[in-house]
């Protein structure tokens, strides 16, 4: 299952940028290393401009970088990718943003919070289950994405007709 990662959330879970230069590069290096070790693929989404304007397609091994268009944000890109997926359940979304976490989960994607990804990074064992990284059934404290629930259950009802 490929990962769909909110890069800014992951960087924030590490306490923000360290050292000089574009701190997003630290995230890219660490994600590439973990994906290589797991034999996994990932789409890493950041707010802001691309890391290298001279590279239109930004891919490193199994990790593809995505950036929002001007006026958009990374959360919107992630939502769009989950919405467009033929089988959202095949994605593992990594975000600590409560609304995005909730939305992706209601669409059927597996979801990890940034600190759960960090545990994977320290101890890469196996890919998480659909219920969460540890199989503990963790869910957001409160469902705030009513539209996501309505879309999900609305599609189920119409497909059963």
| Predicted model pTM | 0.71
Residue 43: pLDDT over 90: yes
Q: What is the pLDDT of residues 50-92, one digit of tens each?
A: 877 766 558 887 899 999 988 999 999 999 999 999 999 999 9
Residue 18: pLDDT over 80: no
User: ∠ at Cα 133 (26, 144), nearest 5°?
Assistant: 90
Residue 10: pLDDT over 80: yes
- Ordered by where they begin, the domains of the chain are 3-160 (3.40.50)
C-alpha to C-alpha distance for 6 and 118, rounded to whole angstroms: 13
Of the listed ranges 69-73, 104-108, 127-131, the least confidently predicted one is: 127-131
Please provide the average confidence, as pLDDT, over all residues in the chain.
78
Of the listed ranges 85-94, 97-106, 113-122, the least confidently predicted one is: 113-122
Residue 128: pLDDT over 70: no
C-alpha to C-alpha distance for 21 and 92, rounded to whole angstroms: 29
Position 148 scores a pLDDT of: 53
Rounded average pLDDT over 18-22: 61
Position 76 scores a pLDDT of: 95
Task: Kindly tell me the burial class for residue 161, based on how many C-beta atoms sit within 10 Å of its own C-beta (0-12, 13-18, 19 or more).
Answer: exposed
Query: For residues 107 and 83, is the Cβ–Cβ distance under 8 A?
Result: yes
Residue 127: pLDDT over 90: no
């Amino acid at each position: 299952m490929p990962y769909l990662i909110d890069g800014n959330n992951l960087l924030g879970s590490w306490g923000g940028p360290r050292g000089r230069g574009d701190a997003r590069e630290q995230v890219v290096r660490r994600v590439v290393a973990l994906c290589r070790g797991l034999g996994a693929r990932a789409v890493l989404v950041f707010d802001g401009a691309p890391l290298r304007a001279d590279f239109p397609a930004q891919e490193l091994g199994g990790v593809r970088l995505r950036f929002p268009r001007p006026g958009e944000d990374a959360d919107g890109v992630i939502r769009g990718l989950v919405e467009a997926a033929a089988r959202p359940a095949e994605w593992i979304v990594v975000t600590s943003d409560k609304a995005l976490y909730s939305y992706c989960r209601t669409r059927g994607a597996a979801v990890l919070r940034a600190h759960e990804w960090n545990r994977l990074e320290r101890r890469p064992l196996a890919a998480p289950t659909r219920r969460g990284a540890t199989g503990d059934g963790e869910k957001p404290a409160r469902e705030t994405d009513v539209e996501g629930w309505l879309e999900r259950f609305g599609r189920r009802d119409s497909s059963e007709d």
